Amino acid sequence: MTLNIEDVDELKAPEPQRPRTPQAEAPSKPFWRRPWILPLFAITAFWLYMQIEPVAGVPEDQLQIPPHENFPAYYPLLITHMSFGTVTVLTVCLQLWPWLRINHPKWHRVSGRLYIVGAVVAAISGLIIVWWAPIPGQLGGAAMLLFWLGITTAAYVTVRRGNYVLHRRFMLYSFAVPANNFLAFFTYLAIDKFHIQIDFAYFLEYARWVPWVLNLMLIQAWLYHTEKRPVTGPSAVRSRR
């Protein structure tokens, strides 16, 4: 019995595959090389101050909140929605900070978990009370909250599966919802400052649709612009050290 060359090649043991090492991110840039970080924190701080200062220390019966005699849980759910929504606004700033993600991945994960919990609780409580909100903007508010709940859950699932590309995309989409408050609020300030006459019902429809949809469009444009950048998880960061 003879063996030809083809038979000998088949008997050779396959070469072991080299394990793939994750591609490390580029070293973090100083904050002045990322000009959007300081404005983001400044806008967030100003927005929080303008939201908290008018109601700080004011009793519940003096707040300008429409009564809901048939739904006594409205006020507690509203406070829950606002409190956990504030958590998301604060933690999303940390989530978007590349320096924190690269140099302190543990704090990035902690802030990410706080954001996801805050978003889920704020979205669910918001979906309950939205039906007692004014009719104008009610559908837009429900659509925004459902989108927020779904996309944030998807962001959590993808990061647990190690798919950091989709996780980054879904988290940026999720950011569009809390950032909705900034654009709606500053639009209201501009209307009040320049005494623009507008039906309040139209403003409510605008505030529940335009800001978060516009944010999604801007985020998608940013994703197209940065699609060639490597996206890695905490293991890649640790491999550099």
User: pLDDT tens-digit profile of 158-183?
Assistant: 999 999 999 999 999 999 999 999 99
Q: Indicate if the pLDDT at residue 86 is higher than 70.
A: yes
Could you tell me the two tokens for 208? 């529940």
Q: Indicate if the pLDDT at residue 48 is higher than 90.
A: no
> For the whole model, what pTM was predicted?
0.77
The whole-angstrom separation of Cα 238 and Cα 241 is 5
H or E element: which one contains 94?
A: helix 74-95
Computed over every residue of the chain, the mean pLDDT equals: 81
pLDDT at 232: 59
Structure confidence by residue, pLDDT tens digits, 102-146: 888 999 999 999 999 999 999 999 999 998 888 888 999 999 999
The whole-angstrom separation of Cα 77 and Cα 129 is 7
Name the residue ranges covered by the structural domains of the chain.
72-238
The least confident of 2-11, 53-62, 118-127, 129-138 is: 2-11
Q: Indicate if the pLDDT at residue 215 is higher than 70.
A: yes
- What is the Cα 139 distance to its own chain's centre? 21
Cβ 144 vs Cβ 180: under 8 Å: yes
**How many beta carbons lie within 10 A of that of residue 137, not counting itself?**
22
Instruction: Pick the more confident residue, 157 or 192.
Output: 157
- DSSP assignment, residue 231? -
pLDDT at 4: 53
The least confident of 3-12, 17-26, 149-158, 192-201 is: 17-26
Closest CA to 184 of 201, 207, 214, 203: 207
